[in-house]
Amino acid sequence: IRYNEADGWHDAKVTARRPLSIDPASTVLHYGQEIFEGMKAYRGEDGHIASFRPQANAARFAASAQRMGMAVLPENLFLQAVDELVKIDQDWVPSGEGQSLYLRPFMISNEVFLGVKPATEYLFIVIACPVGAYFGSGCVSVWVSENYTRAAIGGTGEAKCGGNYAGSLVAQAESKAQGCDQVLFLDARERRFVEEMGGMNVMFVRNDGKIVTPPLGGTILRGITRDSLIKLAAAEGVEVVEEQIEIDELFEGAASGKYVEAFACGTAAVLSPIGSLRRPAGEAKFGDGTTPGPVSLRLKKVLTDLQGGRTNDAFNWVHRIV
Ligand code: PMP
């Protein structure tokens, strides 16, 4: 779907995937006005195909557009575009545990203009690709980034824009060089509080049975999986407390047994147990560092059973497409 000031949103069409042709002076190539979403379509046991809380992705996409000074795509057009692509690509939706059709709606500015101002022309596109589990079973290891932060107050941390990821790639590479699977970012001001990971939110299980997760303060992404788990855990009788988590206290608490489990959550990662956190000063292990804990496994099952259409959808989150 295209946007310009004269025609508004127009020219909606589905085509076979092909290269895009844009002018070398297209604004996105110079000023980075680009936003995206990550969603999945799941095939249920009876063959139906459904997405999960797509309205939340549409709303977050609109909020990201607003933050980036871009044209705001009406949420009904976003939802219609995603559903239409899934219907056309329905034979590509795999079945089985951890399998889904990954959906990537995104928008770029595409005005031919060199000059720093919000563009007046945009292009919204959805592409799709079958995927399996992001991480294998077992636990992931996480590197705490002390050299780089992801987002400052007043910045774009809450928007799902490509620029946020551009700035975090070097930290992800550092984490890999340290032998870890993922990176954990701290707050930009003091480098003292846990924020989120490269592409997922993070939660910790305490020995009092509660789960803690960093609050939404404008610098982390409003994860839809995060929000879903807060509500699903409450329905299971587990309270999720949204509060600041000090990194030093977390390392001490992991050693003393105050923090017993940790996990990452997001559309791609679903719920991925974390075995250990590492930083230059040492390592924090959750449990034995390699075996996922019972709370993580239980919540993962609750979430994936719901997404796969195997349990009652009490929150009305499952959106049937086919
Ligand atoms: N934080 C970041 C930086 C992410 O890229 C993602 C993935 N979209 C998340 C958190 C989790 O968000 P969601 O659960 O909506 O996928």
Q: Which atom of ligand 1 approaches the CA of 150 most closely?
A: 3
Question: CA torsion, points 317, 315, 235, 266, in degrees to nearest 10?
Answer: 20
CA distance 46 to 298: 24
Q: CA 141, CA 48: separation in Å to the nearest integer?
A: 35
Q: How many whole angstroms separate alpha carbon 63 and alpha carbon 45?
A: 34
Q: Ligand 1 centroid to 127 CA: how many Å?
A: 18
Q: Which amino acid is at 262?
A: A
User: Which residue's CA is the closest to the ligand 1 atom numbered 10?
Assistant: 200
Supply the residue whose CA is at minimum distance from atom 4 of ligand 1. Answer: 199
**292 DSSP assignment:** P
Decide whether any atom of ligand 1 lies within 6 Å of the 228 Cβ. Answer: no
| pLDDT for 136 | 81
pLDDT at 57 (0 to 100): 99
Report how far residue 128's alpha carbon sits from residue 82's, in angstroms, rounded to the nearest whole number. Answer: 9
Q: Which of 34, 40, 200 to mutate to test the pocket of ligand 1 (most atoms within 8 A of CB)?
A: 200
Report whether 105 contacts 61 (CB < 8 A). Answer: yes
CA of 304 to the centre of ligand 1 (A): 17
Which residue intervals of the chain are DSSP H helices? 28-31, 54-67, 75-88, 162-177, 224-235, 247-256, 294-307
Tens digits of pLDDT across the chain (322 residues): 999 999 999 999 999 999 999 999 999 999 999 999 999 999 998 999 999 999 999 999 999 999 999 999 999 999 999 999 999 999 999 999 999 999 999 999 999 999 999 999 999 999 999 999 888 888 999 999 999 999 999 999 999 999 999 999 999 999 999 999 999 999 999 999 999 999 999 999 999 999 999 999 999 999 999 999 999 999 999 999 999 999 999 999 999 999 999 999 999 999 999 999 999 999 999 999 999 999 999 999 999 999 999 999 999 999 999 9
Q: Which amino acid is at 131?
A: V
Whether ipTM tops 0.90, in short, is yes
Q: Which residue has a Cα nearest atom 12 of ligand 1?
A: 223
Q: Would you call 291 helix, strand, or coil by DSSP?
A: coil
- Tell whether pTM > 0.90: yes
User: Which helix H or strand E contains 128, and what residues bound it?
Assistant: strand 121-131
Q: Whose CA is nearest to atom 5 of ligand 1?
A: 199
Taken in order of first residue, the domains within the chain and their CATH numbers are 2-131 (3.30.470.10), 140-307 (3.20.10.10)
Q: In this structure, are residues 141 and 180 in contact, taking their beta carbons and an 8 Å threshold?
A: yes
The residues, ordered by sequence, that sit 6+ positions from 302 with a Cβ below 8 Å of its Cβ are 232, 236, 311
Residue owning tokens 């980075």: 32
| The pLDDT of residue 22 | 96
The pLDDT of residue 195: 98
For residues 264 and 226, what is the distance between their CA atoms, to the nearest angstrom? 9
**What does each C-alpha distance from 123 to 25, 33, 69, 104 come to in angstroms?**
15, 11, 14, 14
